[in-house]
Amino acid sequence: MMEIAWIIPLFPLFSFLVLLIFGRKWRRGQIDFAVILSLVSFICALLVLFARFTQENVKVEFIWLTIGETQLTAGFEVNQLNALMLVIVSLVSFLVHMYSKAYMEGDERITVFFSYLGLFTFAMLGLVLSPNLLQTYIFWELVGVGSFLLIGFYFYKEEAKVAAKKAFIMTRIGDVGLLIGMILLFWQVGSFEYDEIFAAISAGDLSETMATLTAILIFIGAVGKSGQFPLHSWLPDAMEGPTPVSALIHAATMVAAGVYLVAALYPLFAYSEVAMLTIAIVGGFTAIFAATIGMTQKDIKRALAYSTVSQLGYMMLALGVGGYVAGVFHLTTHAFFKALLFLAAGSVIHAVHTQDIEKMGGLWKKMKWTAPFFLIGTMAISGVPLLSGFFSKEEILVSAWVSGHYLLFTLAIVAAFFTAFYMFRLFFLVFGGEEKKEHSMVKESSNWMTVPMLVLALLAIVAGYIQTPWFGTFLGDWLTTGIAANVHGHLDGPLWVMIVATVVAFLGILLAWLMYSKKVISRDWFTSRAPYTYQLVVNKYYIDEVYQYIFVKGSRFVSQVLHFVEVYLIEGLISLVTITIRQLSMLGSKFQNGQTQLYGTVAFVGLAILIVVFALTGGGL
C-alpha cells in the first residue's frame, strides 16, 4: 500500500479537474462524486498509516529537472510523520466535503467551491508527501493558492477580495524567506533532499552559522503560513471565506503546515540552538499575544481564528523547546477540536445568519447537536482533563518546564488560562442565557452537517489517548524511531505541572462563567478599569494599521517616486534623443540651400583637411 501512496493526492486532483471542466452541468452528481473521492482518498491514507505501523519508510523519486550535472528529483516519501499527517488532512478534508454539501447548498457556484476544495486537498496532501524541500515549496505555494481562492470565494464582497489578497501576499513574504533559506541550504549541501540534508548535518558538513541562518530563514516561511507573529494578521481576515474552509484550511491543515515544516526539518533546527530559541520565543509570544486579542473579539469566527493563531504558537513553542512529539501531538489534537469548533460555529452561523456573538445567545436548547459538540470542542481546547487537548497541552508544558525555559513556561500557563476564559466566554455568549426572539425559528442543521461534527467530537475526546502518561506513550515512541535528531518519545515531568494546568483551566472557565453566565462580575470590569489597554487589545495592537502605514504606503510612495522618474527623467531622455536627431537633420539641411558658394567652401575645406591628414600621417593611410 505504501508504494502507491502517491495515489492519495490524485483523487482530489481528479475531483478538481472534473468539477472545473464540467462544473456547469450535472451539479448534484458532481458534488456526491467529490465527496466520494475525498472518502476514497481518506481510506487510502488510513491504509498507508496502518501499513507504516509494520513496514519501513518508502521513498520513490524520478528526475524532474536537470541543471548541468545536478539532477533535481520529484517523488514521494512515506514516514511516520507524514503518514500521520496524511490521515489528518484527508479525514478533515472528507468531513468538510460532507459538511459543505449541506452548508453550501443553494449557492450557484457550489461546484466551483468543491473544485477549489479538491485543489487545496491535492496540494496539501502533495505537500505532506514531498521527500525534498523543493517539492515541499512547490506544494507550499499551491496550498497558498487554494487558500487564496477559497478566502476570495465570495468575490463580490470587497472584504473577501482584500482578505484573499492579504493572505496571499503576507504568506508570500514568509515564502521568500523559505525560498532563500532553501537555496542557501542547497548550495551548502548540494541537494534539496531531506535525507541528504540530515546526512550532511550529522556528518558535520554544515557550519553552525549557516545552519542557524538557513533554519531561521526557513522558519520565516513557517511563520507566514502558520500565522505566527509578526505575519499573523492575515489569518483572522481569512475568515471572510466560507466557514467549512476556515475549518479545513485555516484551522486544521494549511496553517499547521508551518508546524509540520519545522517538524519535518527537525534535525536542521535541532542543530542550531539559536534557531530553536527563536522558534520557542516566537511561538510563546504568539501564543499569549493572540490569546489576549481572542478575549476581545465579537465575531465568533475571528475569535476562533485568534485562538488558532495562539494554539499554533503553542505548537511552535513545543518544537522550539525540544518537544518534537509534543508539537506534533498538539497539531493532531488541535486539528480535530479546532475543526470541530469551526464546523459547529458554521452550523450556528448557518442557523442564525450572523457572526456577531452579541446577537446570539440561548441557542443551547435550539441546537440539540451543535451545542454539545461546541461544548466538547471548547472543553478540549481549554484543557479540561481527560479530553484530547488536556494531554497534548500538558505534554507541551512539561517540555517547556524540563527544557528550563521558565519564562516561556509561565507564558504558556498564562495563555492556557486565557484560552479557557475566551473559549468559555464564547460558549456562554452563544449558547447560554436567554433565548432571543429573533431566533425562534432557528433549527438544527441537517445530518450532512451534524455527522461530520459527531466524528470530530469523538476524536476530540479520544485522540489524546495515543499519548498519555498513564496508558503509554504510543505516539511518541512510534514517531521518534529512526529520527536523526535527538528527540524524546516522552518526557517525564513533575506531577504538579499537570495539576497547575488543570487548575488554571478551571480558573479560566470559572471566570468566564461568573462574567458571562452568572454575571456576578460585570463584563466591563476590566474595560472600565484599563480603557487604554482594552482599546489597544481590541484593535489588535494596531498592527494592521502599522503595516498599512509602513508597507502599503511605503511601497506606494516608492512607486510614485519612480513614476516621477519615469515621466520626467526617462521620457526626457527620449525627447533628448529625438531633439538631437531633429537638430542634426536641420543642421544637415542647412547645407543644402542651393548656394553654390557654400558647396564650394565645403568642398574646399574638406580637401584642405584631407591634405593635412595625409601630410601628418606621412601618406601611410
Partner 1 sequence: MGFPFILSIIVFAPLLGLLLLTLVAKTKEKTIKTVAILSTLPSLFLSIYLIISSKMGVELVSYSGKLSWMQFGNPEVFGKLYSIDYELGVDGFSLTLLLLTALLSTLAAFASFQIKAGWKGYYMLFLLLEVGMLGVFAAENLVLFFIFFEVTLVATFFLIGKWGLYEKERTAFSLLIYNGIGSAILLVVIMVLFAKTGTANIEALMSILSADDGTVFSPKVKTGLLLALFIAFGIKLPIWPFHSWMVKVHSEAPAAIVMLHAGVLLKIGAYGLIHFGLGFFPNQFQSLTLWLGILGVINLLYGAFLALSQKELRKILAYSSISHMGIVLIGLAALNEAGIQGAMFQVVSHGLIAALFFYLIGIFYERYQSSSMDDLNGLAKTMPIASGFLLVAGLASLGLPGMSGFVAEFLAFLGLFQEWPVLAVIACLGIILTAVYILRAVLGITFGQQEKAKRVRDMTPLEIWPAIILLLCIVGIGVYPDIISSTLKSIIIGLGG
Burial 60-81 (b: 16+ CB within 10 A, else e): bbeeeeeeeeeebbbbbbbbbb
Q: Which stretch binds partner 1 (CB under 8 A): 37-45, 133-141, 326-334, 340-348?
A: 133-141
Does 179 participate in binding partner 1 (rule CB under 8 A)? yes
| Closest distance of CB 571 from partner 1, Å | 6
Three-class SS state of 229? coil
Query: What is d(CA 228, CA 463) in angstroms, rounded to the nearest whole number?
Result: 25
> Contact at 8 Å (CB) between 12 and 37?
yes
The contact mask relative to partner 1 for 233-272 (x = CB under 8 A, - = no) is: ----------------------------------------
Smaller CB separation from partner 1, 32 or 571 = 571
Q: Which of residues 300-319 bind partner 1 (CB under 8 A)?
A: none
Can you tell me which of 6, 33, 50, 64 binds partner 1, judged by CB under 8 A?
Answer: 64
Can you tell me which of 546, 573, 607, 610 binds partner 1, judged by CB under 8 A?
Answer: 573
Question: What is residue 295's DSSP assignment?
Answer: T
Backbone torsions φ then ψ of 23, nearest 5 degrees: -55, -25
> Taken in order 88, 94, 95, 99, is the CA torsion positive or negative?
positive
Q: Which of residues 580-599 bind partner 1 (CB under 8 A)?
A: 581
| Closest distance of CB 281 from partner 1, Å | 24
Instruction: Extract the C-alpha cell encoding 344.
Output: 459547529
Does 558 participate in binding partner 1 (rule CB under 8 A)? yes
Residues contacting 385, CB < 8 A, separation 6+: 502
Query: What is d(CA 93, CA 125) in angstroms, rounded to the nearest whole number?
Result: 10
Smaller CB separation from partner 1, 72 or 484 = 72
Query: What is d(CA 27, CA 36) in angstroms, rounded to the nearest whole number?
Result: 14
Does 156 participate in binding partner 1 (rule CB under 8 A)? yes
> Contact at 8 Å (CB) between 273 and 337?
no
| Closest distance of CB 122 from partner 1, Å | 11
Does 66 participate in binding partner 1 (rule CB under 8 A)? yes
| Closest distance of CB 621 from partner 1, Å | 16
Query: What is d(CA 489, CA 487) in angstroms, rounded to the nearest whole number?
Result: 7
Number of residues that bind partner 1 (CB under 8 A): 50
Can you tell me which of 25, 53, 54, 68 binds partner 1, judged by CB under 8 A?
Answer: 68
Instruction: Extract the C-alpha cell encoding 349.
Output: 452561523
Instruction: Extract the C-alpha cell encoding 270.
Output: 535541532
Distances (CA, A) of 588 to 341, 360, 582, 584, 599: 83, 86, 10, 6, 12
Can you tell me which of 9, 152, 389, 432 binds partner 1, judged by CB under 8 A?
Answer: 152
| Closest distance of CB 210 from partner 1, Å | 12
Query: What is d(CA 6, CA 336) in angstroms, rounded to the nearest whole number?
Result: 24
Can you tell me which of 562, 579, 607, 608 binds partner 1, judged by CB under 8 A?
Answer: 562
Does 151 participate in binding partner 1 (rule CB under 8 A)? no
> Contact at 8 Å (CB) between 298 and 357?
yes
Q: Which stretch binds partner 1 (CB under 8 A): 153-161, 419-427, 490-498, 516-524?
A: 153-161
Does 155 participate in binding partner 1 (rule CB under 8 A)? yes
| Closest distance of CB 547 from partner 1, Å | 13
The residues with which 58 forms a beta bridge, in sequence order, are: 78
Smaller CB separation from partner 1, 53 or 156 = 156
Count of H helices and E strands in the chain?
27, 2
Smaller CB separation from partner 1, 406 or 551 = 551
Instruction: Extract the C-alpha cell encoding 21.
Output: 471542466
Pinpoint the alpha helices (H) of 226-323. 234-237, 243-247, 257-264, 266-271, 273-294, 300-320
Does 141 participate in binding partner 1 (rule CB under 8 A)? yes
| Closest distance of CB 90 from partner 1, Å | 21
Q: Which stretch binds partner 1 (CB under 8 A): 287-295, 374-382, 508-516, 553-561?
A: 553-561
| Closest distance of CB 527 from partner 1, Å | 37
> Contact at 8 Å (CB) between 248 and 339?
yes
Query: What is d(CA 321, CA 280) in angstroms, rounded to the nearest whole number?
Result: 6
* Burial class of residue 372, CB neighbours in 10 A (0-12, 13-18, 19+): middle
The contact mask relative to partner 1 for 182-201 (x = CB under 8 A, - = no) is: -xx-xx--------------
> Contact at 8 Å (CB) between 376 and 277?
no
Greatest Cα pair distance, the chain, in angstroms, is: 116
Query: What is d(CA 359, CA 261) in angstroms, rounded to the nearest whole number?
Result: 40
Smaller CB separation from partner 1, 70 or 535 = 70
Does 574 participate in binding partner 1 (rule CB under 8 A)? yes
Smaller CB separation from partner 1, 67 or 441 = 67
Can you tell me which of 3, 55, 56, 65 binds partner 1, judged by CB under 8 A?
Answer: 65
The contact mask relative to partner 1 for 34-63 (x = CB under 8 A, - = no) is: -----------------------------x
| Closest distance of CB 155 from partner 1, Å | 5
Q: Which of residues 386-405 bind partner 1 (CB under 8 A)?
A: none
Distances (CA, A) of 264 to 195, 249, 313, 346: 11, 19, 17, 32
Residues within the interface to partner 1 (CB under 8 A): 63-68, 70, 134, 137-139, 141-142, 145, 152, 155-156, 158, 160-161, 164-165, 168-169, 172-173, 175-176, 179-180, 183-184, 186-187, 555-556, 558-560, 562-563, 566, 569-571, 573-574, 577-578, 581
